[in-house]
Amino acid sequence: MMNTEQLSIREIKACPINYVLAINDTLNVISGKWKLPIIGTLLYEKKRFTEIQKNIGKITPRMLSKELKELELNGVITRKVYDETPVLVEYELTESAKRLSEVLDKMVDWGLQHRTSLFQ
């Protein structure tokens, strides 16, 4: 079997095993109730912890901290600590994660269309 990095999307779609593997790789990084909202919040600019929390309703500080750590470990966000008083910490998407904007836009389109179709 070839390395998936060398496969084109056409080749991956031709093989259900590689297709599902690629989907699972994606879901392992972005699955959960809060990860996509966090990514969506950081999509256009870096933010501090409290700004992220304000943009995402009902997420607890503990859960946000946990999710941010996981996203950082998976290479989705970077955390920068500035040596100031008080300490300034900012979170930003990596270049790889910024490419998720197309996925999120498609999800938003689908969600709006689906909601409309349910209530017609």
Going residue by residue through the chain (120 aa), what tens digit of pLDDT does each one get?
Answer: 445 456 788 888 888 898 899 889 889 899 999 999 999 999 989 999 999 999 998 999 999 999 999 999 999 999 999 999 889 999 999 999 999 999 999 999 999 999 999 988
Q: Please give the pLDDT value at position 1.
A: 43
Instruction: Evaluate the omega torsion of the peptide bond into residue 86 and state whether it is cis, within 30 degrees of 0.
Output: yes
Cα angle value 61/75/55 (rounded, 5°): 35
Confidence at residue 52, expressed as pLDDT on a 0 to 100 scale: 98
What does DSSP say about strands 47-48 and 77-82: parallel, antiparallel, or unpaired?
unpaired
pLDDT of residue 115: 93
Joined tokens for residue 96? 């790889």
What pLDDT does 6 receive? Answer: 67
pLDDT score at 5 = 55
Q: What is the DSSP letter of 120?
A: -
pLDDT of amino acid 3:
53
* Residue whose pair of structure tokens reads 């990860």 in the numeric block: 35
For 41-94, what is the HEC assignment?
A: HHCCCCEEHHHHHHHCCCCCHHHHHHHHHHHHHCCCEEEEEECCCCCEEEEEEC
